Structure 1
Amino acid sequence: MSSELSLSIGQAFVAPDRRHHRSSMSVRVPAERTLLEAKGASALISDSSSRNAIAKQAGDLSVRGFLADYYSTPDHWDVKTSATRVLRALNGWCYSQSGHVQNGSYMASLSAMVYRGREAHLFHMGDTLVFRLRGAEFEQLSRDHVTDLGGYRYPSRALGLDGNIDIDYVSVPLKQGDIFLFTTQAVRGTLMPSDYVQLIRADASDLNAACERLAEAATSRAQARGYGGEPFCFQLVRIDHLPEAEQDHPGRLYGDLPVPPELSPGERLDGLEVQEVLSRTAQSRVYRVRDTHSEREMVMKAPSPELSNRNSYLEHFLLQQWVVERVNSPFVARVMESSRPRRYLYYLMAYVDGERLSDWSRRHPQASLAQRLDIARQLGKAVQALHRRDLLHQQIHPDNILIDRHGQVVLADFSACRLREGDGHKHSRELARQLGLTEHSAPEYALDTDVGRRSDQYALASTVYWLLTGAQPYELPPHELRSHTDLEQLTYRSARTHNPEISLALDEALRRALDPQRALRFRRLSEFLYALRDPAAERRERTSPRLLKEPVNFWQGVAGILLLLLVLSWLLR
């Protein structure tokens, strides 16, 4: 008999008008044994109180988004950490999107249950319903979060309702034969607990048929009571088999791996031959390696050997690979898979055949303003790609930026990267300070105040200022500040004093992005990037002949004049 978790599933959906249905449900049981053991199986249901298209999208997106992101979380995270972080990210996205639409909102109730090992974990927001049938005992596991307004009941604490959300969490032990029912508030007032037990037990071997019986009975009761226009959806999950005993969480696998020893060129590790030592710091080692099986050149990053017992740093190190995997951008380094199983703690990235921005700048002192602005715009796109995934970089400076032989910019170091938090990014700030601040770090890191996306904006602008001028925007380096009094003494030095080619508009944009007060910088990074346009190209556009910019209008005018001349020639005959 298999020692794996085994489930059976049934679903049914009834809606008088399917165009306006607003519920979504799904179950995922990973086929890969390691993923099933690490993350478990998931069952979800979502529902919205509105009937518009946006409400339906909110339900579908919440279910699909959870299933996609939950199984992409780091292996060493437990179920609660993984699901909670994914749900908070989904909530933030739904809440932000609601501000850009009219006559609707991305708001939905959601219940997600994760079955892992011999335990089930329920995460619940809003008024969707989750029940457990064990023998003849029928018990509701979720809580109804509803608000009565004008005789109508609306979900409260729902996904997307507020920027911050409280998530109900409960874990329950599993028994073989347990049946879990997922449904929505529409069923309230139709079926009694005894009805559920009877209809499910009528033929428990066919869960799809059981769901159909529930839907038919609920619809019949609703029509008899005069409100048969509501959609009904039912989802059943039965525990067919449980593992013999709680298995070790394979997510701890990489955390249990030893830190690699100090390596030198020519030495091998897991079939990877060290070609060059790229970096040695107090926290990490970075090597250029060659896979002896595939002949690929890659970059290996490993914790520093002396950090073997510093679990807090090792936990963050494990997150770095996950951080890079979340971002899909040509301007951000890519994670690579090894051709062999790992026996040590490290991760691999694509090797960039190029040089650091600091070295490039020294080798190209005569580079034009247009070339430097092109590099700045590419770097800005890399930072934007991180921010779209709710990530802060926190260490943008010339030594962490690579330029390949074709002029492509790649952001390559993620030692201080963290997901955005809801506590003013206290842990993010502490991590950045632990790894070391630079002359490009925003003042708030030194002053222990809140950090965020605008902190990355400052570091980006400081790097661009240096790239364009070779200097720093302030006489006192912001990372050396000791008090808010020092902050008030910072005076911006115009970039035009170092490079007269810089336009007044670009200088003003740099000044604003480098404002010592975080709240006074650009609200969106895209506003700053818009200011990094090539002024020479704009001048060419403004001074180009009207014929080149509006050829259709020009030839229409020519045709009109010729027609007029033709008419005049006829009249003068």
Structure 2
Amino acid sequence: MATAQLSLSFGQAFVAPDRRRHRSSMSVRLPEGAQFHAKGACALISDATARNALAKQAGDLAVRGFLADYYSTPDHWDVKTSATRVLRALNAWAYSQSRQAAEGGFVTSLSALVLRGTEGHLFHMGDTLVFRLRGAEFEQLTRDHVNDLGGYRYPSRALGMDNSIDIDYARFPLKQGDLFLFTTRAVLGTLMPSEYVQLIRQDASDLHAACDRLAAAAVERAQSRGYGAEPFCFQLLRVDELPDAPSDHPAKVYGELPIPPELSPGDRLDGLEVQAVLSRTAQSRVYRVRDVRSEREMVMKAPSPELSHRNAYLEHFLLQQWVVERVKSPFVARVMEPSRPRRYLYYLMAYVEGETLAEWARRHPQASLAQRLDIANQLGKAVQALHHRELLHQQIHPGNVLIDPHGQVVLTDFSACRMRDGGGLKDARELARQVGLTEHSAPEYALDDEIGRRSDQYSYASTVYWLLTGELPYALPPNRLLRHTDLEQLVYRSARQRNPEVPQALDEALRRALDPQRALRYRRLSEFLRELRQPLARPGGEGRAASPRVFRDRGHFWQGIAAILLLLLVLSWLLR
């Protein structure tokens, strides 16, 4: 006898008298198969403020962004973890974009309902409305977050309004026949609760028709009261059938997968044959493997067999794959999906045939300044790709940068990678310290100070300095700092003195990006990257190491010309 599964149906209606004032968005996602079992169904509604030039973009991006990222989260995360992390990342992105927008902002109210198994999970911020109709009971599930200023009501809490976000969360059991209504504040003052119930129950078999009835009634009531220019949207979601019993979430299965044993070349695991051991550390093992079925070569990363299941790093290991999957860049290592179900705890990345930056520098001691700056700029694009997704790498150093035979740079090792969500930066700093600080780590990690994108900027600039000079910018490595007074010992050693080919402007840019005080570095990484590109952009330029020294210095150039002319004059006298 087949067991019952969660079955849902929905309807929608949208009325916008003036398309230019459209600022609401709604959507329902009913996935199939394993994704439905792991993540459930999702219904959302968003609504930006009327006085916002970017209202339409804000509402649409909030809904599309949540759906795309929520269904990309790892299957072993529960609903609350997945949705909360996605909303925090989405909020950080919207807030950063709003600060750069000339007019308006990416600020919007948002309500998201996730139905999985026999439970509902509601996430809410702002003033969008979600009601539940259960039998004769019509109940508002969301709480309004609004301020009344000068007779105009503004959301007091919304997506993209602040760097951190406070999310209302409710979890409740589902009952067969539950109806959830999603709408916006524009309908307030039009229909009474009893009218909602009557219009929905009139013919509940067709939810699209029920939404149309609600929209028509709301428009008619609004016009009769003299304010008919507001857009109205209604969305209904009904629980038609519930599963026979709650099913185990994949988190229970995936989180309890055993750590792989110590592997050697020739060993096999889940159809993956170990070709070589690339790294063994206290936290992890990294192997080059070959899928015996597809012949693909990949990199397997697994926790160290010595770690206990209570280890904090092991908890973060479960997040690494999802963190890296968010970044789409040719300069960042790419995560691969296994061709078989996993029986052990690990994840796979694309194999890059090449060498680390440290190995490359040893093999190319005569590399030109232009070659080194090209590598530095590629690495900068990798760091930018992470920052655009609100991620900190925290382990940028020559051993984590790969260069393939074509000169392509790929940033690897995400052991300390962490999202820049509100309140998570202290945890990010502790994770970086647990993984291990390096001589390229920013001083704030050793001194327990606030960290952020400029901390990655320091590590990146330190790596570039090392690439150009073969040395470190300070006599005392920042990871050896014990107290704030030690910062006085960090006296910048000019890169130009160690490599005369480094232009003065580039040396000054490195000095600023490597300032021991985080607040004094470049506000944006793009400003530092612009300075790195300048030597390569100059046509005759200072960045061309292959050019003779006389042509890189105008004074020396004219001195050389004068010497040649003098020699010709002397020869002409001697030959008379």
TM-score, length basis structure 2: 0.91
- Give the aligned partner of residue 561 of structure 1: none
Distance 1:466 1:376 in 2: 11
Instruction: Identify the residue that residue 563 of structure 1 maps to in structure 2.
Output: none
Partner of 1:202: 202
Residue 238 of structure 1 is matched in structure 2 by 238
Deviation digits for residues 336-372 of structure 1 (CA, Å, limit 9, x no counterpart): 2222221111111111111111111111111111111
CA distance in 2, matches of 1:403, 1:434: 27
CA displacement at 1:203 relative to structure 2:
0.7
1:166 aligns with 2:166: yes
Give unmatched runs, 5+ long, in structure 1.
544-573
**Could you tell me whether the CA contact under 8 Å between 2:441 and 2:458 is conserved in 1?**
yes
Aligned to 1:294: 294
CA distance in 2 between partners of 1:103 and 1:461 (Å): 34
- Partner of 1:63, secondary structure, is helix
Moved more, 79-88 or 306-315: 306-315
Bigger drift between 437-446 and 337-346 goes to: 337-346
* Whole-angstrom CA distance in 2 between matches of 1:140 and 1:368: 67
Distance 2:100 2:321 in 1: 33
Q: TM-score, normalised by structure 1?
A: 0.92
Equivalent-residue separation in structure 1 for 2:198 and 2:507 (angstroms): 75
Pick closer, same or farther for the CA change 1:424–1:262 going to 2, 3 Å.
closer
Residue 410 of structure 1 deviates from its aligned partner by 0.8
1:163, CA displacement in angstroms?
2.3
Deviation at 1:50, TM superposition (A): 1.3
**Aligned position for 2:342:** 342
Distance 1:197 1:421 in 2: 40
- Please say which of residues 340-349 and 449-458 is displaced more in the overlay: 340-349
Could you tell me how far apart the structure 2 residues matched to 1:305 and 1:34 are? Answer: 30
Cα distance change of structure 1 residues 361 and 115 upon mapping to structure 2, 3 Å threshold? same
Deviations 1:303-360 (Å, cap 9, x if unpaired)? 1111143342222112111122111111111112222221111111111111111111
Q: What are the superposed Cα offsets for residues 136-176 of structure 1, whole Å, 9 maximum, x if unpaired? A: 11111111222222222222212222222221111121100
Task: Please tell me the root mean square deviation across aligned C-alpha atoms, in Å.
Answer: 1.6
How far apart are 1:424 and its partner, in Å? 6.7
Shift of 1:52: 5.6
**Partner residue in 1 for 2:439:** 439
1:410 maps to 410
2:72 counterpart of 1:72: yes
**Structure 1 residue 54, shift from structure 2 partner:** 1.3
Give the SS at the match of 1:532.
helix
Stretch of structure 1 that moved more, 164-173 or 56-65: 164-173
Assess if the C-alpha contact under 8 Å between 2:89 and 2:419 holds in 1: no
* Aligned match of 1:555: none
Displacement after TM superposition at 1:270 (Å): 1.2
- Give, as a single letter, the amino acid of the residue that structure 2 aligns with 1:163: N
Give distance in 1, aligned partners of 2:49 and 2:432.
Answer: 43
1:397-425 per-residue CA deviation (whole Å, 9 max, x = no partner) reads: 11111111111111111111111132371
- Match of 1:333? 333
What is the number of equivalent residue pairs in this alignment?
542
Asked whether the 8 Å contact 1:20–1:51 carries over to 2, the reply is: no
Q: Which runs of 4+ in 1 moved over 3 A?
A: none
Partner of 2:282: 282
Partner of 2:176: 176
SS at match of 1:535: helix
Give identity over the alignment, percent. 78
Q: Show the counterpart of 1:559.
A: none
Partner SS for 1:533: helix
Summarize the alignment of residues 490-569 of structure 1 with structure 2, pairs less than 5 Å apart: 490-533=490-533, 535=535, 537-540=537-540
Counterpart of 2:212 in structure 1 is 212
Letter in 2 for 1:392: L
| Corresponding position of 1:469 | 469
Secondary structure of 2:540's aligned partner: helix
Residue 395 of structure 2 aligns with an amino acid whose one-letter code is Q
Structure 1 position 7 matched with structure 2 position 16: no
Cross-structure match for 2:562: none
Q: State the Cα deviation string for residues 215-242 of structure 1 (Å, max 9, x = none).
A: 1111111111222222211100000111
Cα distance per residue 1:65-94 (max 9 Å; x no partner): 111111112222221121122112222222
Give the Cα separation in 2 of the matches to 1:335 and 1:195. 52
Q: Does 1:18 align with 2:19?
A: yes
Find the aligned partners of 1:17 and 1:424 in 2 and give their Cα distance. 42
Q: Say whether 1:30 aligns with 2:28.
A: no
* Structure 2 counterparts to residues 293-442 of structure 1, below 5 A: 293-423=293-423, 425-442=425-442
What is the CA–CA distance in structure 2 between the aligned matches of 1:311 and 1:439, rounded to whole Å? Answer: 25
CA distance in 1, matches of 2:268, 2:84: 40
Structure-1 separation of matches of 2:80 and 2:348: 28
Equivalent pair of 2:164/2:421 in contact (CA under 8 Å): no
Distance (whole Å) between structure 2 residues aligned to residue 288 and residue 91 of structure 1:
37
